[in-house]
């Protein structure tokens, strides 16, 4: 006759491990036992639970020395436990996660090569990164199949090829997987990790069921979600000296609710386990008392099918439910930042009480990271039990940045991010390297001239450009030849690392050696062997040992594989756990005792997660294969929440916004509100308001009062003495259109830094064209060959690479032909050409001396003594109407300076005309026209009018009450201007629109 399973439960919220320890020391599950504790075998779900239980046993025993029971995690059974008769010695080794990724990525690439007609295969062939993503997805699928006892050979039978075209791709890929994966395991003598774990669990179950296990055996804390684990739990529960202790089985739910549990219910997995054990819930015996919040948790989780009973049952439970809300705090933070800070404050307050402990439980790693950073405010170091990806720790981050730079061809922000890593010094002293790198960024990396060439070449050309630049960036003024030589040396060192991009296709192992060698060149040598980098070195060793699985591939493909694995492999932090504070994952926290339980990240889609069946099996297929539906994961998350929620002191936190978007609270919090509303229980939110108030006060500067009422738009009114009195003609348009830009540049002395340029710069093209045309005009030349020669000189002076030169030179030839043709018309009545000429005018405004300067591209002196002004534009010139209106007064102010004899040595009788010559690109990109309208007042009259208007405008700015406002007469409202982020123009514009509404 079969032994009835012996199943027990410890209520959610009760101190599971302490109750279990007391029972074990009293002889549980035996009666009147005289056996020593060392005869017991106890299986727990996690390593943390094992270590915590050992400590509790020692404390509860009251003995200085105690031979402990055999305690271990369920998933880490030792093979030596299984006797030879159970064939344990023949189990192959598991295929490592690294090997799985390499092999599946190889298979995915092989499949893509064999099926070029399939769209997914085309995407993989075009982007190797897609192959790695597909490999990870396949690895998850294989793990699910192995865990749920699936058979890959049956998968093609599930699909009807005629239903959808994408099914054909899935079938062919899974067929390849079902054929090649067994061959792979047979070749290497391995098996899947999940399959091996299931095999081990079933061997152990068979050993126990056969009576070979001697002594008491207890499995505690597991919900049996894996089929093989359920088999083991069943065997233990039927052992004559065995017992199964379930975590938080709901004994309060009514029978109707129990019979209608959906997969997303917190108790579904336990019900499924009891069904396999063929016992009723009533047969499960409780160990220890219920917790005060068990009733509230049970009602919150009531299935939808019986939720209507709330109105019948809850009014009678008001007193019990009111008591359940004691020591229950819900914090609804404005955002994730405020949520993390509130949690950190709660944990900090716990340390004010001797021996008091707190645990943050959350599936959200971002929130966990934020909390650890907030705790550093008080020099509290706390480790996230989940660990961190290798790519985020120590030299792993430096390596990740190097790989990112390599994949970005060592351009712009990518190489700079790597060079800025604290461990990177390129063999220099840190104190010398960091300031030199800042200069290198501005002088060489920003506005790069020679794309596709080394950094040394760019450093040389940057020095040439700096020498030619009449208005260098303020941060680059006064750079000595010695500094430029140091930048050249630094550039050569960077080139040595960047040479990695030129590596030829080789096996993965050889490419890995090249990458690590490049990293070693860049970092401080002693850091490579630092203790913190031990996980990274172990990872490299494993990867090298498995690298034979990938043959010749490019350096970029090797970098993609390495980066992908680096971001997937997780290493626990080397810092010691805090003795009284912890951040745990939901499974790890299930059995761990604490004084304050904080459940963080309770937003819908985070905890619980979104239900996703995955890309390979739809719901019907999962049903046919007897796989769990994705809602099962929500049920597991609900059980973990229920365990923490039932804790005597519990804090629930969530954010109203996530990633700058509105967010909803978890469904369980909504159910909590619904239950309490029906029961007419009023909650006290005083504690939550206190924590939120403290969190907000930490950001309030000392000695300041909170702002009252609306914030007034700032007015930028500097003292008159600081306001500029010298302007160039080109600045006046900016003063008219965007006065704030003059304030920021001339008064605050803020100069924008160039962008990282990876494409040919229109500004550089314009500079080269202008310099060549200016030299041609100064030579009083007229032939096209002479202009082309000047162009060749400028291309050579700027050191343009062949590709860029071939891109711009044909256009310059067209420009040269156009200018020579136009020159035939311009030379009639021409006496002399003045090119690249500086002019100046001095005048008073309300008793204050002012200076107006200009640099003219070309001024022609005609035979009759009059002058003609010509301005060359590679961009779009202003229209004559804009010039007439005074919005673009550059040409008219040049004319005013000319009439005032400000362009020495010229003293013309007058200004006949002002011309714009456009030398832009495109079919209609080259033409010549008057800068002013033909039927208007004329250039001289406009010059005098605009000069008078300028003096009036400058007079206004001599009044301290007049502010420098942003974007007064902006040409394009949607255009981005240099100082918009400082003036907060868009924010105030939107605020004004909101007020109007």
Q: What is the pLDDT of residues 462-501, one digit of tens each?
A: 888 788 777 788 888 888 889 999 999 999 999 999 999 8
Q: What is the DSSP letter of 746?
A: I
CA 458 vs CA 125, 326, 450: distances in Å: 34, 68, 6
- Residue 570: phi, psi to the nearest 5? -110, 135
Residues (pLDDT < 50) of the chain are: 1, 80, 82-89, 161-162, 574, 993-997
The beta strands (E) that lie in 213-284 are given as: 217-220, 242-247
End-to-end CA distance of the chain: 81
- Residue 556: phi, psi to the nearest 5? -70, -40
Residue 164 is predicted with a pLDDT of: 54
Three-state DSSP state, 339 = helix
Q: Give the β-pairing of 70-73 and 41-44.
A: parallel
Rounded CA-CA distance 266/256 in Å is 16
| Residues whose CB falls within 8 Å of the CB of residue 63, separated by 6 or more in sequence, listed in order | none
Rounded CA-CA distance 626/150 in Å is 8
Rounded CA-CA distance 230/499 in Å is 55
Three-state DSSP state, 242 = strand
Helix residue spans in 26-154 (DSSP H): 47-61, 97-114, 119-126, 128-147
Contact 750, 742 (CB under 8 A): no
Residue 88 is predicted with a pLDDT of: 46
| Residues whose CB falls within 8 Å of the CB of residue 500, separated by 6 or more in sequence, listed in order | 406, 514, 515, 518, 555
| Residues whose CB falls within 8 Å of the CB of residue 43, separated by 6 or more in sequence, listed in order | 71, 72, 73, 74, 217, 218, 219, 220, 222, 236
Contact 99, 135 (CB under 8 A): no
Residue 973 is predicted with a pLDDT of: 67
* 10 Rama sector, left if φ>0, alpha if ψ -120 to 50, beta otherwise: beta
pLDDT tens per residue across span 348-370 = 999 999 999 999 999 999 999 99
Spatial CA neighbour of 445 closest among 423, 415, 468, 425: 415
Contact 217, 40 (CB under 8 A): yes
Please give the helix or strand (H or E) that residue 341 lies within, else none: helix 336-350
Rounded CA-CA distance 264/634 in Å is 5
Three-state DSSP state, 837 = strand
Contact 918, 931 (CB under 8 A): no
Q: Bridge-partner residues for 913, per DSSP?
A: 868
The beta strands (E) that lie in 863-909 are given as: 866-873
| Residues whose CB falls within 8 Å of the CB of residue 951, separated by 6 or more in sequence, listed in order | 843, 845, 850
Residue 801 is predicted with a pLDDT of: 67
* 884 Rama sector, left if φ>0, alpha if ψ -120 to 50, beta otherwise: alpha
Q: Is the dihedral of CA 827, 830, 831, 832 positive or negative?
A: negative
- Residue burial 439-455, b: 16+ Cβ < 10 Å; e: rest: bbbebbbbbbbbbebbb
Rounded CA-CA distance 814/940 in Å is 33
Please give the helix or strand (H or E) that residue 891 lies within, else none: helix 890-899
pLDDT tens per residue across span 856-899 = 999 999 999 999 999 999 888 999 999 998 899 999 999 999 99
CA 767 vs CA 199, 244, 872: distances in Å: 73, 81, 11
The pTM of this model reads 0.82
Rounded CA-CA distance 157/150 in Å is 13
The beta strands (E) that lie in 297-350 are given as: 328-333
């Amino acid at each position: 006759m079969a032994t009835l399973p012996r199943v027990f439960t410890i209520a959610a919220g009760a101190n599971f491990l302490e109750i279990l320890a007391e029972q074990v020391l009293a002889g549980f599950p035996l009666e009147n036992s005289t056996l020593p504790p060392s005869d017991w075998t106890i299986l727990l779900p996690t390593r943390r639970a094992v270590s915590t239980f050992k400590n509790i046993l020692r404390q509860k025993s009251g003995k200085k020395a105690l031979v402990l029971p055999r305690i271990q995690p369920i998933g880490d059974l030792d093979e030596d436990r299984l006797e030879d008769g159970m064939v344990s010695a023949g189990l192959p080794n598991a295929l490592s996660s690294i090997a799985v990724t390499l092999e599946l990525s190889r298979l995915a690439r092989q499949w893509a090569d064999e099926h070029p007609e399939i769209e997914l295969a085309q995407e993989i062939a075009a982007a190797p990164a897609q192959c790695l993503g597909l490999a990870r997805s396949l690895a998850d699928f294989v793990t699910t199949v192995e865990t749920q006892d699936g058979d890959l050979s049956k998968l093609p039978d599930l699909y009807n090829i005629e239903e959808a075209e994408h099914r054909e791709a899935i079938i062919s890929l899974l067929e390849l997987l079902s054929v090649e994966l067994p061959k792979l395991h047979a070749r290497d003598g391995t098996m899947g990790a999940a399959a091996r774990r299931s095999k081990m669990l079933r061997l152990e179950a068979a050993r126990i069921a056969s009576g070979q296990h001697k002594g008491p055996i207890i499995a505690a804390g597991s919900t049996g979600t894996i089929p093989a684990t359920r088999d083991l739990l069943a065997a233990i529960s039927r052992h004559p000296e065995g017992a199964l202790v379930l975590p938080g089985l709901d004994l309060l739910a009514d029978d109707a609710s129990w019979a209608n549990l959906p997969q997303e219910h917190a108790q579904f997995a336990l019900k499924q386990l009891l069904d396999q054990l063929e016992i009723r819930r009533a047969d499960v015996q409780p160990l220890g008392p219920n917790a005060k919040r068990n009733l509230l948790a049970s009602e919150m989780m009531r299935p939808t099918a019986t939720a209507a009973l709330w109105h019948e049952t809850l009014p009678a439970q008001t007193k019990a439910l009111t008591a359940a809300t004691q020591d229950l705090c819900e914090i609804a933070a404005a955002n994730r930042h405020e949520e993390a800070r509130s949690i950190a404050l709660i944990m900090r307050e716990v340390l004010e009480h001797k021996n008091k402990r707190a645990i943050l439980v959350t599936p959200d790693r971002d929130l966990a990271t934020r909390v650890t950073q907030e705790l550093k405010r008080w020099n509290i170091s706390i480790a996230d039990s989940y660990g961190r990806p290798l790519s985020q720790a120590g030299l792993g981050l430096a390596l990740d940045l190097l790989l990112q730079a390599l994949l970005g061809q060592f351009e712009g922000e990518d190489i700079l991010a790597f060079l800025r890593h604290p461990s990177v010094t390129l063999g220099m002293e840190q104190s010398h390297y960091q300031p030199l790198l800042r200069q290198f960024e501005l002088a060489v990396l920003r506005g790069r001239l020679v794309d596709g060439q080394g950094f040394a070449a760019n450093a040389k050309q940057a020095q040439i450009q700096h020498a030619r630049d009449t208005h260098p960036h303020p941060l680059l003024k006064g750079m000595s030849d010695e500094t430029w030589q140091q930048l050249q040396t630094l550039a050569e060192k960077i080139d040595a690392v960047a040479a990695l991009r030129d590596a030829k296709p080789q096996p993965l192992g050889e490419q890995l050696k090249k990458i690590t060698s490049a990293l070693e060149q860049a970092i401080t040598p002693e850091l490579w062997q630092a203790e913190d980098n031990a996980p990274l070195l172990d990872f490299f060793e494993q990867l090298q040992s498995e690298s034979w699985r990938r043959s010749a591939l490019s350096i970029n493909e090797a970098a993609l594989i390495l980066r992908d694995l680096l971001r997937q492999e997780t290493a626990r932090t080397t810092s010691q756990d805090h003795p009284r504070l912890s951040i745990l994952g939901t499974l790890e926290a299930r059995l761990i005792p604490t004084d304050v339980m904080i459940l963080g990240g309770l937003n819908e889609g985070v905890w619980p997660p979104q239900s996703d069946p995955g890309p390979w099996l739809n719901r019907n297929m999962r049903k046919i294969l007897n796989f769990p539906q994705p809602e099962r994961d929500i049920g597991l998350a609900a059980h973990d929440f229920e365990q923490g929620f039932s804790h005597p002191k519990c804090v629930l936190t969530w954010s109203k916004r996530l990633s700058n978007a509105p967010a909803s609270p978890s469904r369980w919090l909504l159910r909590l509100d619904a239950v309490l509303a029906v029961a007419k229980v009023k909650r006290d939110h005083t504690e939550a308001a206190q924590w939120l108030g403290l969190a907000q006060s930490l950001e309030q500067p000392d000695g300041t009062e909170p702002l009252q009422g609306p914030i007034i738009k700032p007015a930028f009114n500097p003292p008159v003495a600081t306001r500029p009195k010298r302007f160039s003609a080109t600045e006046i348009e900016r003063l008219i259109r965007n006065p704030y830009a003059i304030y920021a540049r001339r008064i605050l002395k803020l100069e924008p830094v160039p962008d990282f340029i990876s494409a040919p710069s229109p500004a550089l093209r314009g500079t080269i064209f202008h310099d060549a045309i200016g030299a041609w005009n100064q030579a009083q030349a007229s032939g096209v060959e002479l202009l082309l020669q000047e162009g060749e000189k400028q291309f050579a002076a700027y050191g343009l690479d062949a590709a860029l030169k071939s891109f711009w030179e044909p256009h310059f030839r067209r420009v040269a032909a156009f200018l020579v043709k136009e020159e035939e018309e311009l030379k009639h009545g021409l006496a002399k050409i003045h090119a690249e000429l500086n002019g100046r005018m001095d005048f008073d405004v309300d008793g204050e001396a002012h200076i107006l300067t200009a640099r003219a591209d070309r001024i022609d002196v005609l035979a009759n003594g009059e002058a003609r002004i010509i301005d060359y534009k590679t961009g779009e010139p202003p229209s004559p109407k804009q010039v007439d209106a005074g919005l673009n007064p550059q040409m008219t102010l040049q004319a005013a300076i000319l009439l005032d004899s400000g362009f020495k040595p010229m003293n013309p009788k007058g200004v006949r005309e002002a011309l714009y010559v456009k030398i832009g690109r495109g079919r209609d990109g080259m033409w010549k026209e008057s800068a002013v309208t033909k039927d208007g007042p004329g250039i001289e009259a406009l010059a005098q009018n605009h000069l008078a208007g300028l003096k009036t405008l400058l007079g206004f700015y001599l009044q301290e009450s007049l502010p420098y406002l942003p974007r007064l007469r902006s040409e394009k409202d949607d255009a981005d201007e240099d100082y918009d982020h400082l003036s907060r123009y868009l924010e105030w514009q939107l605020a004004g629109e909101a007020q109007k509404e």
